[in-house]
Structure 1
């Protein structure tokens, strides 16, 4: 172990936080020029038909659930998810074109996304490496791939977020908004 590592009791948290800051900046940039009216809508193709691809409401709502999970896993008391999040954005939910505006609105979803992920950033930075070495409690194949809290939270904060933010980037282009 290097002398620097001995002085830093939270290398894992610092590593996760460095990438999470980049994620949060990118997530904010991707919202440029997105309107509340298009936030929950599928993009349309050249033939005018909706393109069945995740839209911003689903992306930001879905990702919020994982910031919430990090807080719970690291022992931070958190309120329940906002109304409509679990039934519309949880793992296994299908993104649907929100023609009637029944999904949680843009302000609610984005405010919660940034609130919960900034809280997760603070808690990740305050957690020590011993905490991150605890076993991933999910079990099964997910724990085989990500055996510790540190590895699974690194995935949630970085890889999982960027995967879905890549969908957001594609949605922007389909909507004619260009790169962010």
Structure 2
């Protein structure tokens, strides 16, 4: 598999997230307008938690503080309090750092690394480390980018 192509899409998704969130006031990141469950503070933290999983899949250390996982793991419930989450700048800076480290890890992976089995807890979704990494690079952030775009429109903050 050509991971350079996937890394390009991964970089494009970060650029789109940064552009989308640039004019969103930090204090509004935990709003849940019209019943939208996943607000931007949770979504950005969830992306950071997911990128830590990707980092581990390329034999790199996680970046997020340990308590982020419980707040933003798949299936967790977003809290309505803005104070429960880091600042927008902290979340975006964490994503930026993770993107650099993930790209380094992907490029440094030894032959056969991506053929290794995924952790047992995710094997029904992704059989190998390569499946995990390909999904994280090409799909995960873009899926949540759509949620952020919908949130921004419903929150009355302009076109997404």
Seen in structure 2, the aligned counterparts of structure 1 residues 36 and 75 have a Cα distance that, compared at 3 Å, is same
Show the counterpart of 1:94: 77
- The answer on 1:33 being equivalent to 2:23 is yes
- TM-score of the superposition, structure 1-length normalised? 0.78
Show the counterpart of 2:137: 157
- The answer on 1:66 being equivalent to 2:69 is no
- TM-score of the superposition, structure 2-length normalised? 0.87
RMSD: 2.0
Give 5+ residue unaligned stretches, structure 1.
1-10, 46-50
For residues 121 and 41 of structure 1, the distance between their equivalents in structure 2, rounded to whole angstroms, comes to 32
Alpha-carbon shift at residue 173 of structure 1 (Å): 0.4
Alpha-carbon shift at residue 129 of structure 1 (Å): 4.8
Show the counterpart of 2:91: 109
As a proportion of its length, which structure holds more helix? 2
For residues 179 and 127 of structure 1, the distance between their equivalents in structure 2, rounded to whole angstroms, comes to 39
For residues 21 and 98 of structure 1, the distance between their equivalents in structure 2, rounded to whole angstroms, comes to 30
Show the counterpart of 1:170: 150
- Higher Rg of the two aligned structures: 1
Seen in structure 2, the aligned counterparts of structure 1 residues 94 and 121 have a Cα distance that, compared at 3 Å, is same
Give 5+ residue unaligned stretches, structure 2.
none
For residues 158 and 85 of structure 1, the distance between their equivalents in structure 2, rounded to whole angstroms, comes to 23
- The answer on 1:130 being equivalent to 2:112 is yes
For residues 129 and 59 of structure 1, the distance between their equivalents in structure 2, rounded to whole angstroms, comes to 33
